Chain A
Amino acid sequence: MSITFTLNGDLRRLPAETPPAQTMLDWLRAAGLPGTKEGCAEGDCGACTVVIEHPDGARSPVNACLMTLGQAHGLALRSVEGLSAPDGAPHPVQAAMLAAEATQCGFCTPGIVMSLYAHARMGGDAHEALAGNLCRCTGYRPILDAMAALPAAEDAAPSCPTTDVTAFGPPGHRFFLPRGLDETLALRRAHPDAWLLAGGTDLGLRFSEHRENPAAIICLRDVAELRGISARPDGISVGAAEPYAALLDHMAHDAAFEGFAGLLRRLGSRQIRALGTLGGNLGTASPIGDALPPLLALGARLSLVGPGGARDLAVEDFLLGYRRNALKPGEVIARVFIPRPTPGAIFAAEKLSRRHDQDISAIGLAVLLERDGDVITRARIAHGGCGPMAARAPEAEAVLEAAPFTEAQARAAGDALARAITPMDDLRGSAEYRRVAARNLLIRLYWRVARPEAATEIMALPTPHAPRFIAP
Chain B
Amino acid sequence: MNAPLAQGAALAHDSALGHVTGRAPFADDVPEAPGLLHGALLLSPVAHGRLGALDVAAARAMPGIVAVLTARDVPGANDISPSGREVEPLFADGTLRHHGQPIALVVGETRDAALTALAALKPEIEALPAILSIEEALAAEAYLLPPQEIAVGDAAGAIATAPLSASGEFRAGGQEHFYLEGQIAIAAPGEDGDISITSSTQHPTEVQHIAARVLGCDFNRITVRCRRMGGGFGGKESNASWVAAAAALAARITGRPVKLRLSRKADMAATGKRHPFLYRWRAGFDATGRITGLEAMLAADGGHSLDLTGGVVFRALTHALNCYDVSAVKLRALSLRTNMVSHTAFRGFGGPQGVLLMEDVLRGVAAATGQDMEAVRARNFAGGTNGSKAPYGQALEGDLIRRVYAEAMEDAGWAARRAEIAAFNAQHPFLRRGLGSFVLAFGISFGLMHLNQAGALVHVYADGSIRLNHGGTEMGQGLNIKIAQVVADAFGVPISRIRITPTSTAEVPNTAPTAASTGSDLNGWAAHLAASAIRERMAAEAARLWDVPVEAIGFAEGRVFVARPGDNRAMGFGELAHRCWVQRISLSATGFYRTPDIHWDAKSMRGEPFFYFSYGAAVVEVVVDTLTGEHRVLRADLVQDCGRSLNPAIDRGQIEGGFVQGLGWLTTESLYWDKEGRQRTLGPSTYKIPGSRDAPPDFRLRLLANAPARAETIFRSKGVGEPPLMLATAVWNALCDATGLTALDLPATPERVLMALEKQSS
Chain A interface (Cβ within 8 Å of chain B)?
Answer: 29, 32, 34-45, 47, 79-81, 83-84, 88, 90, 94, 97-98, 101, 103-110, 113, 126-127, 130-131, 133-144, 209, 211, 352, 354-360, 362, 426-430, 432-433, 436-437, 440-441, 443-444, 447, 451, 454-455, 457-459, 461, 463-472
Contact = CB atoms under 8 A, between A and B. Distances in A.
24 contacts: A37-B180, A42-B264, A44-B683, A44-B684, A81-B22, A103-B20, A104-B653, A105-B179, A107-B26, A109-B20, A138-B656, A144-B692, A352-B628, A352-B630, A356-B694, A429-B751, A436-B758, A454-B428, A458-B631, A459-B693, A467-B699, A468-B699, A471-B648, A471-B652
B660 A139 contact: yes
A354 B670 contact: yes
Given A103-B15, A355-B690, A454-B431, 15 more contacts: A32-B31, A34-B26, A90-B21, A94-B20, A105-B228, A107-B179, A107-B230, A107-B476, A354-B750, A355-B691, A437-B628, A447-B429, A458-B632, A468-B700, A469-B700
Contact of A472 (B657, B706, B749): B706
Interface string B1-30: 000000000101101111111111110110
Given A103-B19, A139-B661, A429-B751, A39 B693 contact: no
B689 A437 contact: no
Contacts of B26: 34, 37, 107
B419 to A, nearest CB: 19
Contacts of B705: 472
A459 B624 CA distance: 10
A130 B692 CA distance: 7
Interface string B672-709: 10000000110111101111111101111111111000
B231 A432 contact: no
A242 B698 CA distance: 38
Given A134-B684, A427-B686, A466 B697 contact: yes
Q: Is the interface of B mostly helix, strand, loop or mixed?
A: loop
A35 B21 contact: yes
Given A97-B20, A106-B18, A357-B693, A458 B653 contact: no
Given A101-B653, A107-B230, A40 B683 contact: yes
A38 B181 CA distance: 8
Contacts of B699: 139, 141, 466-468
B678 to A, nearest CB: 11
B625 interface: yes
B476 A80 contact: no
Sorted from nearest, which 8 A-B pairs have the closest CB atoms?
A35-B22, A105-B476, A107-B230, A106-B19, A139-B660, A104-B476, A44-B684, A34-B29
A261 to B, nearest CB: 17
A466 B699 CA distance: 7
A50 B129 CA distance: 47
B263 interface: yes
Most buried by A among B231, B645, B692: B692
Interface string B620-640: 000111011111101000000
Given A101-B16, A106-B230, A354-B750, A35 B429 contact: no
Contact of B697 (A34, A41, A138, A463): A463
Given A352-B628, A437-B754, A461-B632, A104 B657 contact: yes
B733 interface: no
Most buried by A among B21, B25, B478, B629: B21
A134 B116 CA distance: 29
Interface of B: 10, 12-13, 15-26, 28-29, 31, 112, 115-116, 177-182, 228-231, 233, 263-265, 427-431, 475-478, 623-625, 627-632, 634, 645, 648-649, 652-653, 656-661, 668, 670, 672, 680-681, 683-686, 688-695, 697-706, 749-751, 754-755, 758
Contacts of A90: 17, 20-21
Nearest to B703: A471
Most buried by B among A39, A98, A209: A39
A322 B237 CA distance: 43
A434 to B, nearest CB: 9
A36 to B, nearest CB: 7
B27 to A, nearest CB: 11
B180 A355 contact: no
B744 to A, nearest CB: 15
Contacts of B686: 360, 427-428
A98 B21 CA distance: 10
A141 B697 CA distance: 8
A454 B695 CA distance: 23
B703 A360 contact: no
Given A105-B180, A352-B750, A440 B701 contact: no
A142 B19 CA distance: 14
A140 B631 CA distance: 19
B661 A41 contact: no
B762 to A, nearest CB: 11
Contact of A40 (B16, B264, B630): B264
Contacts of B25: 34
Most buried by B among A41, A107, A109, A466: A107
Nearest to A362: B751
Contact of A131 (B683, B693, B750): B693
Given A40-B683, A105-B229, A441-B628, A467 B21 contact: no
Given A209-B263, A356-B694, A464-B697, A469 B181 contact: no
Contact of B627 (A44, A106, A440): A440
Nearest to B178: A136
A428 B660 CA distance: 22
B228 A444 contact: no
Contacts of B28: 29, 34, 38
Given A355-B694, A356-B694, A451 B230 contact: no
Contact of A104 (B478, B632, B634, B645): B478
A109 B427 CA distance: 43
Contacts of B681: 427
Contacts of A135: 180, 692
Nearest to B632: A458
Contacts of A466: 697-699
Nearest to B659: A139
B659 to A, nearest CB: 6
Contacts of A465: 697
B22 A104 contact: no
Most buried by B among A44, A354, A362: A354
B697 A106 contact: no
A101 B695 contact: no
Nearest to B639: A470
Nearest to A32: B31
Contacts of B634: 461, 463
Contacts of B428: 454
Contact of B231 (A88, A101, A105, A139): A105
Contact of B179 (A136, A427, A429, A455): A136
B338 to A, nearest CB: 19
A98 B17 contact: yes
Most buried by A among B179, B230, B264, B698: B230
B429 A358 contact: no
B264 A39 contact: yes
Contacts of B632: 356, 458-459, 461
B460 to A, nearest CB: 29
A113 B20 CA distance: 7
A126 B695 CA distance: 13
Most buried by A among B25, B112, B233, B754: B754
A437 B653 contact: no
A370 B611 CA distance: 69
Nearest to A428: B686
A355 B688 contact: yes
A437 B628 CA distance: 6
